[in-house]
Every structure is written in C-alpha cells, then in structure tokens.
Amino acid sequence: MPGETNIVLVGAGPTGLLLAGDLAAAGLDVTVLERRADESNLTRAFAVHARTLELLDMRGVAGELLATGTKVPLLRLPGGARLDLSRLPGHFPYVLITPQYETERVLTDRALAAGARIEYGTRVTGLRQDDDGVTVYAAGRDGPARGRRAAYVVGADGAHSTVRDALGLPFPGRAAVRSVMLADVRLTDPPGDVLAVGAARGAFGFLAPFGDGRHRAIAWNDDADLDDDVPVDVDDLRATLRRALGTDHGLHDPSWTSRFHSDERQVPRYRVHRVFLAGDAAHVHSPVGGQGMNVGLQDAANLSWRLVAAARGDTGLLDGYQRERHPVGRAVLLGSGAMLRGARLRAAPLRAARDALLRAVTGTPPLARRVARAVSGIGIAYDAPRGSHRLTGRRAPDVALDGPPGRLFAALREGRFVLVVAADDPAVTYLATRLWAGRVHCAVAGAATRTTALVRPDGYVAWATDATAPEHRAAEIRAALTRWCGPPVHVRPAA
C-alpha cells in the first residue's frame, strides 16, 4: 500500500528520537511526525544521569554527548548535605550537565543516519486503530489532515499528548508547582562545579553549571501565583535565590528566561492494543531530581526492542513494557513529589528535621549509595519470576568480553540480545549463530565466571544460569533463547 509505514512515532523530543534511532537501526521503516517546524533549541532538561549515559554508550553516542557538557560528581543539597555520585558503578560516576537540545541533536543525527524520516511541521490530530494496524491523521504544512497506516504507533508527544487523548485515556494527578522561574545567567561568584540546591522560608533555588561560563537557575517562591506568560523579573529571581540559598551568587546577564508550572500525573495504561505511550506523554512530575527526560529515554530503550520483535511477528514481549515501566514511572513520581514537598516545608523545626535527615542519609555510606543509585537510574531493576537466577531483571554491568568488540555495551550497539557464555562451547555458538542468527550476538566472558547470561538489548539481564554441565546448560540456553528471541529458524540439514 503506497505511503504505508511500519512504525509511526509522534513527537521528535528526546523519547521519540531515541526510539526512532533504535527502530531504524533494526531495519524498520520509521516515520516521526513532529508539529514543530524545525529542530528544537529548547533547554528544559539539563541533567543526564549515569544510567542514561550507559544507554547512550550502548548506542555509540555517549562520547559525543559528553563532549558538550560538564560532569558533576557531587550534588549539594539543603542543610549542608552532599550526595556523592563519584562511587557509582560503571563508566559514568557523575551527572552530565548539558542542554536538552544537545541530547536531541545527538539523537536526531543518529536517527537520520539510521534511516528514520522526521517530518517537521506535521501535527497529529487523531488516530483510529483496527486489528491490522493504525491510521494516524496528521496535518502538514501544505495541506489538511490525511491518514497514514502504521503497524504500531508510539505517542512520544509530551505532556499534552494528542495520542493519549485519542486513546481516551485519563491523565490523573494534580498540580505540583506554579510560577517557577527559569533563567540562563552568569554568576560573579559561582558555587563551583557542583549543583547547588537550597530550600528555605517558602523559596526554592537551584543552580547548575553549563560549563560555558553560564549557569541554569531555577527558582520559585511559594507565595507567587503567576501565569506562565508573565515575564521573569530578574530582581525577583535574585531575591528568591537569596532566600533559598543564602546568596544570589552575583547573578547577572540573563540570556534567556521563562516561567512554567508542572503537574504530577501518570497515565494508567502505557499500551492500548497497537498504540503505546512513552516519556512525558505517559508521566509528568516536577523537575526536582532532574528525572523526566531520563525516564523517557529509558522508556524508549525498554520499548524499542519489543517493537522490533513484534515487527518480526513475536508480539509476546509487548506487554512487558507496561509491566516494567509503569512502576518505574510511579516511583519517579513519588520520589520527585517527596523531594518537592520536602523543599517546600515552611516551619523552621520541620526544615531543620529535613536537613538533619538529609545529612544523616548522605553521611551513611550504604544509604547514600542507595540514594545515588536511585537518582542516577543505575539502581533500576525489573521484577523477575520466582526461582530466577539472582541477576535476572538487573542492570548488566559493562563486562569485558573475550574477542571483539571487547566489552558488553559495545556488543549491544548491534541492537540484539547478547549471550555472554562462561567458556567457548561450539554447541552454544551453533545455537546463537545458526538457529537464532541475526537475533543474538554470542560472546565469551573476558574474566573467569561460572555464569552464562542472556542480556537484553536494553542492557538488563533476561536470564542467567550457573549450570556447568554442558547438556543441561545448552537445554537451558535453548529455552531462554526461545522465550526471549522467538522460535529458532529451521536449518536445513546439509545434503
């Protein structure tokens, strides 16, 4: 059918762009419909956390993004508490501060190079789905809305998602914070290469260095109740920072200002038949904690390989998206909401108790490690069936591999499952290279281990075993490959 496309993504924000690159790299026909006329120069998000950097490393673009920003290994919290990220496991023990448009630029370049089409100036107005596919209605620059068919559609169209509305889904929640001031500024007396966060007397202040001499300031004052279109008054911003942080750090020369409000909401269903929601279309919360874009990118990484399998005819993995990502979205809403409410405490004794709690938690190494892992996304793990190996559902570290490409995250750049075996075994190699050819990369662990693990394309362990008896292990591997990668291909015996 002319004009038919395999997958339509609505929205070229970070979530849609990561998905577009993954799906196009897997050989699918991908079209992104974006209502903006051209690329974004928006700087909402600026904190890229460690787990997101790992996902970008698995796509070969982490280095490019790192070159655009500042690495911040220490977060300065209210009451003198400090959260140390420098002991996080992995290659990225810090949060990267870089403008959102840089993340989008890197992901746009990757998606286009992989063959995705991005149609700017195309606004989706609605959709209708049937058993065979979805018709997406979109109006372009040069004409009225027309329908296009797709096998699957993902609504990555942000907080005011048209796709979510078209599915008739509610977006329950509540208003979180109003009259938040944003500004990109210079500071005469900067707080150093750390994120400065403070909350006192009904005011909240936050400063992050962009690494180019400018800082992003975010501040609000609980007494203010102004609409988003009321311009930011720089004197008001300075006064709010002084209340929250004790100083305005000599703030001057704002190059850009904006005002916004945010809600805490989550959609109950991330999937309705052939249509999925991801990123801000599925969940929104206040920017406290710098999580929104990170969670959206992780949604995309969780969904893309499931859609690749579905396009191959294996639809059994699609429901895992809701099962795994809805609880993560819920946890982020709760965590960010708790931080927001903590920041807004007004009574002096409550603020003192909050600050003492923060100092106690960040000063107790096991607790501080837990918080650092939660904030960075490194600690995210998915539920595993009862009786599974202890690694199942957990983040796979970037282990060394014996032979090219030398490490796990580099092997994951092919977008396939990676079977890491404890030792070379021709029977296992045969399974991966013949019966599951093109779906699995088989590699021998670079360090001594008893564990054989099947790692999903999003870097989580699908299945693992410590079985060492060759026949037993081969049977388990065969079952795991069938469960996760679909049935084996039929190989004709040699004539």
Binding site for ligand FAD (CB under 6 A): 10-16, 33-36, 44-47, 100, 123-124, 156-158, 162, 182, 218, 260, 279-280, 287, 290-294, 296
Class of residue 414 by CB neighbours under 10 A (exposed 0-12, middle 13-18, buried 19+): middle
Contacts of 464 (CB under 8 A, 6+ apart): 389, 391, 392, 451, 452, 453, 454
Q: Which of 357, 98, 119 is nearest to 208 (CA)?
A: 98
Q: Cβ–Cβ contacts within 10 Å for residue 463, how many?
A: 25
CB of 81 to ligand FAD, least distance (A): 19
Amino acid at 49: H
**230 vs 491 by CB, closer to ligand FAD:** 230
**178 vs 478 by CB, closer to ligand FAD:** 178
**35 vs 51 by CB, closer to ligand FAD:** 35
Q: Which of 322, 328, 285 is nearest to 51 (CA)?
A: 328
**Cβ pair 198, 358 in contact under 8 A:** no
**155 vs 457 by CB, closer to ligand FAD:** 155
Paired tokens of 379: 């600690």
**Cβ pair 410, 441 in contact under 8 A:** no
CB of 73 to ligand FAD, least distance (A): 16
The C-alpha angle 374, 303, 147, rounded to 5 degrees, equals: 135
CB of 125 to ligand FAD, least distance (A): 7
CB of 34 to ligand FAD, least distance (A): 5
Amino acid at 354: R
**321 vs 484 by CB, closer to ligand FAD:** 321
CB of 284 to ligand FAD, least distance (A): 7
Report the SS3 class of residue 461: strand
How far apart CA 343 and CA 57 sit, in angstroms, is 33
- The strand ranges marked E within 313-433 are 401-402, 417-421
**97 vs 245 by CB, closer to ligand FAD:** 97
CB of 134 to ligand FAD, least distance (A): 14
Q: Which residues does residue 418 pair with via DSSP β-bridges, in sequence order?
A: 441, 455
How far apart CA 96 and CA 94 sit, in angstroms, is 6
How far apart CA 429 and CA 39 sit, in angstroms, is 44
How far apart CA 117 and CA 110 sit, in angstroms, is 11
CB of 316 to ligand FAD, least distance (A): 26
**11 vs 78 by CB, closer to ligand FAD:** 11
As a whole number of Å, the CA-based R_g of the chain is 24
How far apart CA 358 and CA 22 sit, in angstroms, is 39
CB of 353 to ligand FAD, least distance (A): 27
Amino acid at 18: L
CB of 74 to ligand FAD, least distance (A): 16
**162 vs 452 by CB, closer to ligand FAD:** 162
**69 vs 290 by CB, closer to ligand FAD:** 290
CB of 208 to ligand FAD, least distance (A): 8
Tell me the pairing of strands 195-200 and 203-209. Answer: antiparallel
CB of 290 to ligand FAD, least distance (A): 3
**124 vs 480 by CB, closer to ligand FAD:** 124
Q: Which residues does residue 419 pair with via DSSP β-bridges, in sequence order?
A: 442, 454
**12 vs 28 by CB, closer to ligand FAD:** 12
Tell me the pairing of strands 146-155 and 275-277. Answer: parallel
